[in-house]
Structure 1
């Protein structure tokens, strides 16, 4: 019977800050959701897929929900569920990040359909801000990261040597792209505020600015905690046994067989 590696949070790490930090990060995630819902659903006018400004509101909603919250929790999966097999954690990670890719695509569709039409009608250049450049580049790189991860770690799933060689890059770009997503979110919030803010003498601080600024601060706080949790080596998975580890399984459709010398090699089905 396959030997399963079972861990609890206590066995996983002796650092008593781990669980409180995870809880605080999720409190911040909930706060972002509430502020985001109020900002896009109330102060920005709500949602409608009809070519109006309400059409645009899907963009900040889906980008922050996906590229910030789900992305952050997606890279935290391997820290959160040490009691799961590594394959199960990888599958959850893959699904969450795949949802982020889909949400980002819908968000880009929303902004392209409306903003480009508005800018063209007013003879403006398209994609002319730092937010546009950084945000679009981040999404493209995120999609490429997901595709590479799927091909290398899932199907057709490269050999262990190639997976091991690619893993440092995958981890680095996962954290780097999360940081870029935060930069894109903050710059996007500021761009939206400035776009709709009049500049006459004596202008007042309004709800659109206040809620956007608070949400930006909470996003930064969420990102700082997630960044600490996923980069602290004390919180990495600590496997008790590698016996029958899912990471040791061969390419899809192959089996393991033992040679007379005792070594393990992949055999064709």
Structure 2
């Protein structure tokens, strides 16, 4: 099944991937060239794992997880497989975030620096905890077979909104963190004097904003939603036919993969076909 407005989608996806990859290169360059490198020794080199893991995992991998349902070349994959890919990417992002948090606490404890005193740390820990809750609820609702379809449909708007809100918030918290690091870490010359490191990391912040904006744009375009499993099955078996016109666009997937169960709930209300909800 061809995606509507495929070329603009590919342009947006390519731009997002480019911004994400360049962000990873920038954060690695920051850690390895401007800072003390990477190590796990309680020193500054251990702290450097924090921005590296946040950018590569909590931001980049989470962004990919959000749009993975929208990749048209995955539409022939089963919905269950896409659920596992979506959950697996988010789980990996969460693991990266937890390791990043451990690196910060280890560094602070070794250097006798107080923990959890800044707004960045408050919001960062809150984001990690809420992400964990989002992950647990998502798995419970959409990967456990006996979860009632009505629960899945009712929870889906909160799941979608929560995922997008967390993604945007994590980027905002990351921007706070890199700015805080520059202010505290640059002394001669200072951040206000715009040394090369400050300019370099400011560009990293811009790249993260661009990446986030593109991911959110891709995730909220109605014409780029994954079709429901019923539409895909109909196209594969009889080339579309009557069922396509019956279900219409209201059964499309929402931003980060609104479940076919929700679509089935709409169809049951509209067409009274109670036995056609998908898993």
Q: Which TM-score bucket, shorter chain as reference?
A: 0.7 to 0.9
Q: Is the 8 A contact 1:101 1:143 kept in 2?
A: yes
SS of 1:109's partner is helix
Report the counterpart of residue 120 of structure 2 in structure 1. 131
| Preserved contact between residue 43 and residue 107 of structure 2 (Cα < 8 Å) | yes
Matching of residue 35 in structure 1 with residue 26 in structure 2: yes
In structure 2, relative to structure 1, the CA distance for the partners of 1:216 and 1:149 (3 Å cut) is same
DSSP-derived class of the 1:38 partner: helix
2: distance between equivalents of 1:170 and 1:131?
Answer: 24
Who is 2:195 aligned against? 206
Structure 1: runs of 5+ lacking an equivalent: 1-6, 249-261
Q: CA deviation at 1:264?
A: 4.2
Looking at structure 2, the residues matched to 94 and 15 of structure 1 have their Cα atoms a distance apart, in angstroms, of 26
TM-aligned CA distance change 1:242 to 1:202, over 3 Å: closer
Compute the displacement of 1:247 (Å).
4.8
Q: What secondary structure, in the 3-state scheme, does the structure 2 residue paired with 1:229 have? A: helix
Q: State whether residues 12 and 238 of structure 1, in contact with CA within 8 Å, keep that contact through their aligned partners in structure 2.
A: no
C-alpha displacement of 1:84: 2.3
For the aligned residue pairs, the C-alpha RMSD in angstroms reads 2.5
4+ long deviations beyond 3 Å: 199-204, 262-266
* Corresponding residue for residue 248 of structure 2: none
Taking structure 1 as the reference length, the TM-score comes to: 0.82
Give the match for residue 58 of structure 1: 49
Alignment of 1:217-256 (within 5 A): 217-239=206-228, 240-241=231-232, 247=260
Distance 1:191 1:263 in 2: 55
Secondary structure of 2:111 counterpart = helix
1:109 matched to which residue of 2?
102
Q: CA–CA distance in 2 between the matches of 1:67 and 1:199?
A: 31
Q: How does the TM-score come out when normalised to structure 2?
A: 0.79
**2: CA distance between counterparts of 1:140 and 1:72?**
18
Q: Which secondary structure state, in structure 2, belongs to the residue aligned with residue 215 of structure 1?
A: helix
The change in CA–CA distance for 1:264 and 1:235 in structure 2 (over 3 A counts) is closer
Equivalent residue for 2:266? Answer: none
Match of 2:7, SS?
coil
2:169 corresponds in structure 1 to: 180
Report the 3-state secondary structure (helix = DSSP H, G, I; strand = E; otherwise coil) of the residue aligned with 1:12: coil
Q: Does 1:83 align with 2:98?
A: no
1:108 & 1:94 partners in 2: Cα distance?
21
Change (3 A) 1:176 1:77: same
Higher percent of residues as helix: 2
Which stretches in structure 2 are left out of the alignment for 5+ residues? Answer: 235-258, 262-272
Aligned to 1:254: none
Q: How far is the alpha carbon of 1:201 from its aligned partner? A: 8.6
